[in-house]
Amino acid sequence: MEQDKNAEIMKILFVDDEENVLRALKRLFMDEPYEVFTAQSGKEALEKLGQRHFSVIVSDQRMPEMSGSEFLARARELQPDAVRIVLTGYADVQAAIEAINKGGAYRYITKPWNDNDLVLVVRNAVETYNMQQENRRLTELTRRQNEELKQWSSQLEVMVQEQTLDIQRKSKDLEKLNEQLQKNFKKSIEAFSGLIELREKTVSGHSKNVAMLARQMAMSMKLADRELSNILVGALLHDIGKIGVPDAVLMKRPEEMNAAELAEYQRHPVRGQVAVDVIEGFSDIGLLIRHHHEHVDGTGFPDRLVRGEIPLGSRLVAMADAFDRIANINEPSEEGFLKALQHIEYYLDTRYDRTLYLHLAPIIKKKIVELGKKGEIREDEDEVHPDRLTAGMELTRDVRSGSGLLILAGGVMLDEKVIESIQRYNQMDPYRTGIFVRKSALKK
């Protein structure tokens, strides 16, 4: 076994009152990537436990002054994380059971042992120790992220309260201020979704693309405003659980992952639900996030739900998510859009809901037509430089940065704040064309 140079060398402690047994154990583990320590009594072993931390402790059961089960019970108090193993003769099985119950032993091995079996047991114990430490690290990471989200939620609540007090003092501006508050909330969600994508840099603007497409499909279905809002926010935050996934796993496609990596990856929808559930009113959004990797035939994760058991918003996001990951790997193109549609068609009734495809296909086919007319100005539109935009204009095409990031979807009515954002993006990542707006607004 080759030891990672940067990894901590695992320390193993063997305890036995017979010196020849300890010498045999040291020889047996000479070629293993562990630092081996020995002690000839429970008392000596307890002194060593006070000096350094051990990953695995292996103790003989029959020792003078202090039995193995008594020693392991004391060791458990001093170093509860260490994995404990007891060595015992065939006649002392009951003592081994006592060591397991009293000392929290991982397992027992009978003497005389088989060398290969003993080495494998210790290797497995080290792996168990490493997994426990990693689980503890991930649990602490999730706890800290939950605390951060709670703080973010509290700050958002304070902002809402301050805006509400201001609205009450200025009743004539009630409608305008309330609209501004909703925009601020949306921008906060969009900004947070952008931070999520810093953990997965391969798909720029993915969350915003998915949110735009899922919302267009939901509008085509004439869903209620409340559900439209939940789908938009849920789509923007659908990958929030990936914050806790190691970079080495995120860099791989699911089909390239080993079993442990795939299990770690498949936890991210549940972590996403936990992360947003602390925000009041986000329980439905949390469920949408949890189930956006479910398949209609029950082969998805994490709960293997089928068809109508999967929330409608989750099914919409699942289809929009798959489409964008395939279609927008590079700059949007007719070929990429058609390839993404073919993928979804192939998996209808297995991964994706066929009824929702009826709302996706017309939207994408319209986008393909617009791509085909790229560079041509239609009769009902005009191409305007970003600095010449004015409030009241309506976008006729999607606005994308020079590197292909979706900034705004077609159909948006421009106001001063939106125009400022368009102009700011143009300074950072200049557009390849002007901004296309409806001519009717130009004539006013």
CATH class, 10-132 region: alpha beta
Interior/surface letters 266-290, b for 16+ CB within 10 angstroms, e for the rest: bbbbbbbbbbbbebeebebbbbbbb
Contacts of 298 (CB under 8 A, 6+ apart): 304, 305, 306
Second CATH level (architecture) for the domain 198-372: Orthogonal Bundle (1.10)
Query: Which one, of 151, 248, 235, lies nearest residue 196 by Cα?
Result: 235
**Cβ partners under 8 Å of residue 120, min gap 6:** none
Q: How far, CA to CA in Å, does 346 sit from each of 329, 343, 361, 363? A: 19, 5, 13, 18
The 10s digit of each residue's pLDDT in 412-427 is 888 898 899 889 888 8
400 contacts 406 by C-beta, under 8 angstroms: yes
68 near 38, Cβ under 8 Å?
no
- The predicted pLDDT at position 444 comes to 47
Angle in degrees, CA 240, 305, 347, rounded to 5: 85
**CATH pick for 375-444 out of 3.40.50, 3.90.105, 1.10.4160, 3.30.2420:** 3.90.105
- pLDDT tens readout for residues 296-335: 999 999 999 999 999 999 999 999 999 988 887 656 678 8
Q: Where are the domains of the chain?
A: 10-132, 198-372, 375-444
What is the spatial distance between Cα 298 and Cα 414, in angstroms, rounded to a whole number? Answer: 43
Per-residue confidence (pLDDT) for residue 198, from 0 to 100: 61
pLDDT of residue 92: 63
Question: Which residues of the chain fall below pLDDT 50?
Answer: 1-3, 5-6, 443-444
